[in-house]
A and B are shown apart, each in its own frame.
Chain A
Amino acid sequence: MADNSNQQEKKESLSRRKFLKSSGIAVGGLAVGGALGSLLPFKDKTTNKVDVKNQGTSENYNLALMYFSPEQFKMVEAATERIFPADDNGPGAKDLGVAYFIDHQLSGDWGFNSREYMQPPFFKGEKVQGYQGRLRRREIFDIGLRELQNHSLTKYKKNFVELSEEEQDDILTDFAGDKVNLTTLSPSGFFNMLRSSTLEGAYSDPLYSGNRNMEGWKMRNYPGSQMAYTEVIDKEFTVIPPKSLKDHLGH
């Protein structure tokens, strides 16, 4: 499996170089002059070098947990895989690293809602007034996952991760449709958070631990972070092998 994807990478990387060469999209072709030219983070030799590095098999030390317990992590891995399953297009949430992405996000600003207004008093509002709860995202995940487990145990007498795919879908459908009675939080609110963070984990820059090897982007022919599209902007659909922010750091 790992070998295969390396092969694949190599092939795409070659065609990418060819593309860059023929389209003139590589830095030599950029019409940026003066002081601004020096701002271009990727220049001269760096573009190809970075790729060679990408193909290395060095250990990824980011694959560890910052917030979830191992049990929570496995549930998130299983649930997000149902939301975004592996199929003929490519990997699902699990192989994209989505659960790691969510874990890492919960450990920072996003998990603490630290850039959001969390002052009291708290009142239940109209739907159009937006979220008015006092719970922060990491608390919502704690409670939501616990309730997901409870609901699985009640309905199927098994832990969520032990359920069949169909049963897991059924449990998630109950949450998505508010068919579970919870006092502390909205089941659909939790489900929607799980869903949106799954998409974030599948498609954000790999620097955040999801979208592993840019496989999320490759599935949908998204070129990731390119410095310029001047050569293709007025053309018919063009597939460009993706680049990540790492490629712009020039190391």
Chain B
Amino acid sequence: MAKKLPKVDVVIVGVGWAGGIIAAELTKQGLNCVGLERGKERKTEDYFMIHDELRYALRYDLMQNLSNETITFRGNEKIRALPMRQYGSFLLGEGLGGSGVHWNGQTYRFLPYDFEIRSKTIERYGENKIPKDMTIQDWGITYDELEPYFDKFEKMAGISGEENPLAGKRSSPYPTPPMKTTPSLEKFRKAATNLKLHPYNRPSANLSEAYTNPDGVARAACQYCAYCERFGCEYGAKADPVVTVIPVAKKTGKFEIRTHSNVRRVLKSGNKATGVMYVDITTGEEIEQPADIVVLTSYVFNNVRLLLQSGIGRPYDPVSGTGVIGKNYAYQVQKGNATGFFEKEEFNTYAGAGSLGMVVDDFNGDNFDHTNLNFIHGGSIAISQTGLRPISNNKVPKGTPTWGKEFKANSIKYANRVLSVGGQGASMPFKHHYLDLDPTYKDEFGDPLIRITYDFEEQDRQLAKFLTDRCKEIMKEMGANLIETMEELGPYDITTYQSTHNTGGIIMGADPSTSAVNNYMQMWDADNIFVVGATAFAHNGGYNPTGTVGAFAYRAAEGILSYRQKGGILA
């Protein structure tokens, strides 16, 4: 029998960016919150030995232990889904701060086009532009409505950046100036300018200078040590929940964090949640935490899994296209890029920061004419200087053997002579791309794993090819002696790292029949459950998702406070 604890105002499942932001905002207003985190406590001092490529980048020290729980995957419904036994395509975070600890810090706002993608696509190109099975829909909110929340997230995190001439209007400039640029970034800027494109410094959560945010949290400037993605920041210079919002929530005395607490069920009575059931994994004890409001802020896969295995919401049916939980799973089209080999120059590519880069958005969203193109949307194109670590970066020109004398000589010769320009392509949802519960494979408790049914479509192949060509033009203008590019996108392959930008499954919208949550991330089918994260994305844009997730979390926090006052579905 589960031990039952006293009721709290709000229980938050997963304490990463979304959970941390919501905890800070709600506790500031006096609500009592409990945060359940299945991983362990994390603090800056944990990262003394962080510059360890083997341990963190290749053995995934900060990531979820897959032996306890993973996902299953198949390209389509005719194939048997099999477990992702080892990491590859994306990395699942775990522990206090979640993936917010080991992200790169690239902080964008999705484009105005993203939020009204269906209307705007039809308006400009007509309904026939959208393939039959492509299930894009408007998000039930506009960029202008979201702008204040983007602004709030950026000020909390201290984002360093400069105005992007092709993005939505900003109410205020970035709180800190852009990061330093580097010779390779300057090369990109010059090349892009020559090509009449609009380069700008990538908005960064790695601080360009010391910064104190509106909550009074002071952080130091980034040291360009080159260990961001897959690593935690020993300086606290990279904004992460542990050095920003979580201490703010804790300071109120109203936020209790319980680590090693793995939530297995959302409990309900009628169409309301009554709390959650979790396991204290240090003792194995099952514990019930009653709450007035349940907020799901774990990663995309677990948010969806929790609802499905708790029997909450209408599961998506890919045959009829009805139901909503698990719908519109999307990812990122990451492979359109160009690698340049430079014979005469070497670069400090060993140095960098997760978000150090130069970007153009001329081929993102609907910033260009798609009339004669067989795809919609696009992607940001950027050069990144995140730091090339030696085990994972051994690019050699095609034709070089993959091992032996010639490989060694070339991999060393080019160690500091390779630059890449990469496209981050948007990912459109399709009727047959979705998440549901796997019928065969189980987690450590015997609960079903989540199953991904997903593959690249013609839209993605066309987009990847297009972005590749644009990247190649820029690389050529940058003066590379040899340029290599992707030849074709191929099928979606879960074994090679692409991005941890999984989206959808509990999407936001204006219509309860086609969306799971409203634009406060409140569930249409259970008004005291809020599901906050990239699960709400109706498709994935041509940018890293965290900036938009952050804005959503602030929006949701406002919604929860208002729900606490008035009750009912928020409008």
Residues in A lying within 8 Å of B, measured CB to CB:
30-34, 36, 39, 41, 82-85, 87, 89, 92, 109-110, 113-119, 121, 123, 125-132, 169, 172, 176, 195, 198-200, 203-205, 207-208, 216-217, 219-230, 232-238, 245, 248-249
Contact = CB atoms under 8 A, between A and B. Distances in A.
Contacts of A83: 403-404
Given A89-B409, A123-B82, A126-B75, A39 B415 contact: no
A128 B223 contact: no
Contact of A114 (B67, B221, B350, B493): B67
Nearest to B181: A234
B442 to A, nearest CB: 7
Interface residues of B, number: 72
Contacts of A217: 390
A84 B406 CA distance: 9
Interface of B: 44-45, 48-49, 51-54, 58-60, 65-67, 69-70, 73-75, 79-80, 82-86, 88, 180-183, 210, 218-221, 223-226, 234-236, 345-348, 350-352, 356, 390-391, 394, 402-405, 408-409, 411-412, 415-416, 440-442, 491-495
A127 B226 CA distance: 33
Interface SS of A by simple majority: loop
A116 B347 contact: no
Closest 8 CB pairs of A and B: A229-B351, A225-B51, A228-B223, A220-B415, A203-B390, A204-B54, A237-B346, A128-B493
Contacts of B182: 233-234
Contacts, number: 193
A148 B220 CA distance: 53
A32 B272 CA distance: 49
A41 B48 contact: yes
Nearest to A128: B493
Max chain B C-beta neighbours (<10 A), residue from A87, A123, A237:
A237
Contacts of A128: 75, 491-495
B82 A132 contact: yes
B159 to A, nearest CB: 19
Contact of B234 (A39, A220, A223, A234): A39
A219 B394 CA distance: 13
A45 to B, nearest CB: 18
Given A130-B494, A228-B223, A195 B67 contact: no
B223 A227 contact: yes
Most buried by B among A82, A116, A248: A116
Contacts of A227: 223, 225
Given A125-B82, A198-B403, A222-B350, 10 more contacts: A85-B405, A115-B65, A115-B66, A119-B441, A130-B82, A195-B402, A195-B403, A220-B415, A228-B223, A245-B51
